[in-house]
């Protein structure tokens, strides 16, 4: 293989990996935004509902930051700065 062709193959592989990672992040964000009553019930029983929601929000913030990084976007969008996935409680 020529060096130029090798670089093109490497960039295609990297693009596929970024695409798969972005898809996985989007799926995880959807899951974190889904209300899981069984987990919430267990958290309430154990007395850690507040902590569960805080960890959930931290995960959402982390995934959004990782998504922005992969997309090459600087800083949070204006909508993300005030977004709280647990605001329905």
Checking if the pLDDT of 8 tops 60, the result is: no
CA distances from 37 to 15, 41, 51 (A): 37, 6, 16
User: Which has more pLDDT, 67 or 86?
Assistant: 67
Closest among 82, 48, 50, 51 to 64, alpha carbons compared = 82
> Could you tell me what percent of the chain has a pLDDT over 90?
56
Compute the distance between CA of residue 22 and CA of residue 63 in angstroms, rounded to an integer.
10
What is the pLDDT at residue 89? 43
> Chain centroid to CA 55: how far?
13
Confidence of residue 31 (pLDDT cuts 50, 70, 90): very high
pLDDT tens for each residue of 52-85: 999 999 999 999 999 999 998 877 665 555 556 5
With beta carbons less than 8 A apart as the criterion, state whether 53 and 86 touch. yes
Sorted by where each begins, the domain ranges of the chain are 3-82
User: Which helix or strand (DSSP H or E) is residue 40 part of?
Assistant: helix 37-46
What is the pLDDT at residue 17? 67
What is the pLDDT at residue 19? 86
């Amino acid at each position: 293989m020529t060096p130029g062709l090798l670089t093109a193959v490497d960039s295609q592989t990297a693009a596929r990996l970024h695409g798969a990672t972005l898809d996985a992040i989007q799926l995880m964000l959807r899951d974190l935004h889904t209300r899981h009553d069984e987990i919430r019930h267990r958290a309430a029983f154990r007395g850690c509902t507040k902590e569960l929601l805080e960890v959930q929000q931290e995960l959402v913030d982390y995934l959004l930051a990782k998504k922005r990084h992969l997309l090459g976007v600087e800083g949070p969008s204006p909508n993300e700065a005030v977004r709280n996935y647990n605001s329905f409680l």
